[in-house]
Amino acid sequence: MQKKTIWITAAAAGAVLILGGTGIAYAATDGFEQDDDSRTQVSAPANWLDKASEAAITAAGGGTVTGADTSDDADHAYSVDVRRDNGTEVDIELDASFGVVRIDEDNSGDSDSNGTNETATESTGTDTTTGQLDAEDAPISAADRASAEKAALAATTKGTVTDVERSDDRDHAWEVEVTFANGTDVDVELTTNFQLVRIDK
């Protein structure tokens, strides 16, 4: 892919640069750093940056442009990075007429395309859309743990239980790891009522 890129770096003091008399805000410190690529084949109008930025900010629902480039990809002519006022970032891809082709959300930890905080989901096991714990991450009571261990050891006839987990698989509700004296282990899969489904070696 061949690109002609303009990167706009954000100042620590939060300075913005107003270009083209359009009132569009660009994060800036030392101005633009343009990657002059003689291979660039996109024929962009002189005011492409203003037009692309305006379209991207509208598509993002407001914010500040932090980077923009032209592209020779078949499905889009421009790509504009926008930081929203809430801190989330999006990459807006536009066609040659500055129409929106797609909006790519930044999934690096703030939020995913549905607005769900991925980091919170992974660390707590909570689905922030519903506010409920994922099935496999729900707390295990002492009674349930004891029942799962008893059923697993009865199925293997030997070994030591080294882990007990809930499962969201359709065919079993519990997974119990049993480790043997020789260091090998198996996963004993159980139903909700601690009945044996299978032993995975």
Q: Does 24 or 63 have the greater pLDDT score?
A: 63
Mean pLDDT, the chain, whole residue set? 74
Give the pair of three-digit tokens for residue 31: 């101005």
Q: Does 121 or 24 have the greater pLDDT score?
A: 24
Q: pLDDT-derived band of residue 23, with 50, 70 and 90 as boundaries?
A: low
Q: What is the pLDDT of residues 86-132, one digit of tens each?
A: 888 989 999 989 998 888 887 554 444 444 444 333 334 444 444 44
Q: What is the pLDDT of residues 155-193, one digit of tens each?
A: 999 899 999 999 888 888 999 999 999 989 999 999 989
| pLDDT at residue 48 in the model | 87
126-127 and 100-105: which strand pairing? Answer: unpaired
Work out the percent of the chain whose per-residue pLDDT is above 70.
63
pLDDT at 58 over 50: yes
Nearest to 83 by CA among 6, 3, 9, 5: 9
| pLDDT at residue 34 in the model | 40
Which domains are seen in the chain, by residue range? 3-127 (3.30.505.20), 142-200 (3.30.505.20)
Q: pLDDT-derived band of residue 148, with 50, 70 and 90 as boundaries?
A: very high
Burial class (CB in 10 A: 0-12, 13-18, 19+), 131: exposed
